[in-house]
Amino acid sequence: MTANLNPASGDSTAWPTVAILASTLLWGTWWIPLRTLDALGFGSIWASGGGLLFPLLVMLPIVILHRQRIIAAGWPLILGAFFFACAIALYAEGVLRGQVARVILLFYLTPVWSTLLAHFMLGKPITKRRILTLLFGLAGMLVILGGGDASDTNLLPRNIGEWLGLISGVAWGLAMVYTQRTPTHPLADKVALQFIFALLIFAGLTVIPGGREWSIHFDITLTTIGWLLGFAFIWNLPVVWLTFYGGSRIEPGRVAILLMMEVAIGIITASIFTDELFGQREFIGAVLIISAGLVEFVKLPGSGKTAERLNPDG
């Protein structure tokens, strides 16, 4: 079997695919600066939220200068940025409140939502290949979420953090659908709008009991400043840019499946830097989830096309 990820090959999705895959490295480790800042700030929203505030301050002039262009683009642009921001803010709060691995896995039910939303809202076909990738991905999640005793067989969210992770996946699916409707709109507008919404939504989540506090009670040290700037400009700004670039040019279900690579990265880093378990079951599940991403852009034996419509005769 062969894979074609050569941007010079004439495949218009090659660079967007590379961008999405590159973003998984940042998404998979995104929780590290987020949790570190939360610890350094003792739960203050000003520490973790600063990672969203600084990129916003950089990008805000773009919104002001190009407000007429943004208004002219209409609701698809605004809703795409809004749901993207919802996904990020809810995911961030979920990671802060729940176990990293489980929140990531619940978020990555998003291929189901993305595929269904793309089918009903964009008229995208559900293909045989897509069915296969979903089966791999969901099988991996079931392996990881399943357990050896009765308490581990519950695959529903167990706390507010996990519910936030699940809902963020639905928001992500909606974001990718609306982003598809503005494929040629300048990325800078999308990224800037997203940071406006993300900071507002993340701040709004403080109303949920157990959320961030508004009081400023953290030490402004070189360590805090370093993590804050790193979260803002090494993680947040590049990952949002890469994701919008790829998401505007690739079908939503495929974006979600490619992003499932983040699951393995997130689980592995969580097992290294936290006391969360990463055993044989987690390893098998991660392999299945990675396979879901590989199936999407690898040519399978006997298949003449990358995707075929699912129909009664096929």
Cα–Cα distances in angstroms (integers) from residue 218 to residues 56, 203, 211, 214, 229, in the given order: 22, 17, 16, 11, 16
- Give dist(CA 203, CA 27) in Å, integer: 21
Q: Say what the pLDDT of residue 271 is.
A: 82
- Give dist(CA 267, CA 278) in Å, integer: 7
Q: Say what the pLDDT of residue 312 is.
A: 32
Q: Say what the pLDDT of residue 259 is.
A: 84
Q: Say what the pLDDT of residue 298 is.
A: 66
Q: Say what the pLDDT of residue 217 is.
A: 62
- Give dist(CA 165, CA 265) in Å, integer: 17
Per-domain boundaries in the chain? 31-297
The partner residues of 298 in beta bridges, in order of sequence, read 3
Q: Say what the pLDDT of residue 153 is.
A: 55
Alpha helices for the chain (secondary structure H): 14-29, 31-40, 45-48, 50-65, 67-73, 75-97, 100-107, 110-122, 128-145, 160-180, 187-204, 222-230, 237-247, 252-258, 261-273, 280-297
Q: Please, which residues have CB within 8 angstroms of residue 75's CB and are 6 or more apart in sequence?
A: none
Q: Say what the pLDDT of residue 240 is.
A: 93
Q: What are phi and psi of 298, to 5 degrees?
A: -105, 135
Q: Please state, as a whole number, how many other Cβ atoms lie within 10 Å of the Cβ of residue 195.
A: 27
Q: Say what the pLDDT of residue 195 is.
A: 93
The dihedral over CA atoms of 28, 102, 160, 192, expressed in degrees to the nearest 10, equals 20
- Give dist(CA 59, CA 305) in Å, integer: 41
Q: Say what the pLDDT of residue 155 is.
A: 59
Q: Say what the pLDDT of residue 8 is.
A: 47
For residue 56, give the nearest of 28, 94, 88 by alpha carbon.
88
* 79-91 burial: b if 16+ Cβ within 10 Å, else e: bbbbbbbbbbbbb
Q: Please, which residues have CB within 8 angstroms of residue 280's CB and are 6 or more apart in sequence?
A: none
- Encoding tokens for residue 120? 């009903």
Q: Profile the chain (314 residues) by mean pLDDT over runs of 10 residues.
A: 46 84 92 89 77 91 93 93 94 89 81 76 78 79 62 66 89 86 89 93 86 71 88 94 89 78 84 77 76 68 47 34
For residue 286, give the nearest of 304, 301, 264, 314 by alpha carbon.
264
Residue whose entry in the numeric block shows the structure tokens 């002039």: 61
Q: Do the Cβ atoms of 203 and 1 come closer than 8 Å?
A: no
The dihedral over CA atoms of 92, 96, 101, 106, expressed in degrees to the nearest 10, equals -50
Q: Say what the pLDDT of residue 200 is.
A: 92
- Give dist(CA 219, CA 110) in Å, integer: 38
